[in-house]
Amino acid sequence: MHYIKSHAQAAFMTALSFAIVLSVVYVYAQDSVESQTRYEQPDPKPDLPNITIIATGGTIAGVGESNTSATYQPGQLGIVTLIEAVPQIKNVANISGIQFSQISSQNMTDDYLIKLTHQVNELLSHSDIDGVVITHGTDTLEETAYFLNLAVDSDKPIIVVGSMRPATSLSADGPLNLYNAVALAANPQAKGKGVLVAMDDLVIAARDVTKRNVHQTDTFQSANDNYLGEINYGDFRELRIISKKHTVNSGFTLSKDTNSLPRVAIIYANQNMSGDIIRSAADLGYDGLVIAGVGDGNMSESALDAVKDVIQEGVPVVRASRIPSGFIKRNNEINDDEIGTVTADDLLPQKARILLKFAITKTKNPKQLQEYFYNY
Ligand SMILES: NC(=O)CC[C@H](N)C(=O)O
């Protein structure tokens, strides 16, 4: 008996020390909640849709020194903290989360975007995932949204969201923006509409959304007042129909082995503009150029001469405008038919750059390129 007892005690002590070592290793391995790259809701409800949040960084994950500090660091809080800060999202969906990157959106690259597209396609190919929400820095949020709008091959809801105030701020806008984004992703009405941005109670299609103010929380607006709808504490009201091509109908689906895309530069027009910068961009090997023209996509004679030259060399040129609203007219002050320039219609230069990248994988013919700019 004594023998058995001491054996049992020894076994217990061994197990105990093993458990202590294990938990120390576990705590070390965990390091902090910010280093966790996955979140899985422990208690999913069978009657709720399943939404995955993909975190990329930005102010929505930003941290300031105090709740009133004017400066802060974007991309600090991890996916688990983002989700746990807004437990209300679990009332509208079962939540899983992935930390895709932890960057400010000015550092978003084609490489990240291609990987993000593959990640979104992979997730949405699962029948038990109903939609995704992508948290993102706001500086280039509209570019990622439009890139995915062209490249993703799914009609399930894809919502991109960010915030203007860091997570530590008084009246932070991130939590309610995230709640609305999840509610929209969980809403069957958001299906088939391409990529949508839900910020500050507005829902705007990827094609139309643009950042209009450096600091204000209502910064995301639609260039030509094409708001898709409103969302109020998760309640979505649709105001218009999206007629442009996107996602499953875009014809730009990325194959699994796509790992690069053509390079397109934007050149900003101004008074006293010389054509040298346009010629230099072509010499540097850019595959296409977008001119953020003055007014109706105009530019100086010197710039236009350079445009004619680079088109002759086989570099497509799109005329957009540095004005944030309105449509570019073909053959107005510039004879596009004769020169071979393409007009951006109402796409802003930063969106025209993305469409041209995709379009020149298909054609360099100016007439066919123009069709893309009318239809996407
Ligand atoms: N409001 C923001 O998210 C801006 C932070 C940062 N510059 C970014 O775009 O990621």
Taking the C-alpha atoms of residue 343 and residue 320, their distance in angstroms, rounded to an integer, is 6
Residue with tokens 């217990």: 12
The residues annotated with a catalytic role in the active site are: 59, 138
User: Which atom from ligand 1 is nearest to the alpha carbon of 58?
Assistant: 10
User: Which atom from ligand 1 is nearest to the alpha carbon of 75?
Assistant: 10
Q: Whose CA is nearest to atom 6 of ligand 1?
A: 104
130 CB under 6 A from ligand 1? Answer: no
Report CA torsion sign: 358, 249, 124, 179.
Answer: positive
Could you tell me the distance, in angstroms and rounded to a whole number, from the CA of residue 174 to the centre of ligand 1?
12
Q: Whose CA is nearest to atom 1 of ligand 1?
A: 164
CB 76 within 8 A of CB 61: yes
Could you tell me the distance, in angstroms and rounded to a whole number, from the CA of residue 172 to the centre of ligand 1?
14
58 CB under 6 A from ligand 1? Answer: yes
Could you tell me the distance, in angstroms and rounded to a whole number, from the CA of residue 183 to the centre of ligand 1?
23
59 CB under 6 A from ligand 1? Answer: yes
What domains can be seen in the chain, in order of their start residue? 33-249 (3.40.50.1170), 264-375 (3.40.50.40)
CB 204 within 8 A of CB 221: yes
169 CB under 6 A from ligand 1? Answer: no
Could you tell me the distance, in angstroms and rounded to a whole number, from the CA of residue 144 to the centre of ligand 1?
13
Confidence of residue 223 (pLDDT cuts 50, 70, 90): confident
CB 165 within 8 A of CB 177: no
User: Which atom from ligand 1 is nearest to the alpha carbon of 57?
Assistant: 10
106 CB under 6 A from ligand 1? Answer: yes
Radius of gyration of the chain (CA): 25
User: Residue 192: left if φ>0, alpha if ψ -120 to 50, beta else—which one?
Assistant: left
Residue 101 marked as a ligand binder:
no
107 CB under 6 A from ligand 1? Answer: no
Could you tell me the distance, in angstroms and rounded to a whole number, from the CA of residue 277 to the centre of ligand 1?
29
Residue 336 marked as a ligand binder:
no
Residue with tokens 């086989």: 314
Three-state SS string over 259-317 comes to CCCCCEEEEECCCCCCCHHHHHHHHCCCCEEEEEEECCCECCHHHHHHHHHHHHCCCCE
The residue to mutate among 106, 108, 212, 213, having the most atoms of ligand 1 within 8 angstroms of its beta carbon, is 106
140-168 average pLDDT score:
98
118-141 average pLDDT score:
98
Global pTM reads 0.91
ipTM: 0.98
- What pLDDT shows up at residue 29? 44
CB 114 within 8 A of CB 53: no
174 CB under 6 A from ligand 1? Answer: no
Confidence of residue 224 (pLDDT cuts 50, 70, 90): confident
166 CB under 6 A from ligand 1? Answer: no
Residues whose CB is less than 8 angstroms from the CB of residue 352 and which lie 6 or more positions away in sequence, other chains included: 266, 290, 318, 320, 344, 373
Residue 139 marked as a ligand binder:
yes
Confidence of residue 290 (pLDDT cuts 50, 70, 90): very high
Task: Choose between 26 and 293: higher pLDDT.
Answer: 293
Could you tell me the distance, in angstroms and rounded to a whole number, from the CA of residue 23 to the centre of ligand 1?
37
* Residue 15 in this model has a pLDDT that exceeds 80: no
* Residue 312 in this model has a pLDDT that exceeds 80: yes
267-294 average pLDDT score:
98
Tally Cβ neighbours within 10 Å of residue 259. Answer: 12
Taking the C-alpha atoms of residue 345 and residue 325, their distance in angstroms, rounded to an integer, is 10
Task: Provide the b/e sequence for 193-223 (b: ≥16 CB within 10 Å).
Answer: bbbbbbbbebbbbbbbbbbeeeeebebbbbb
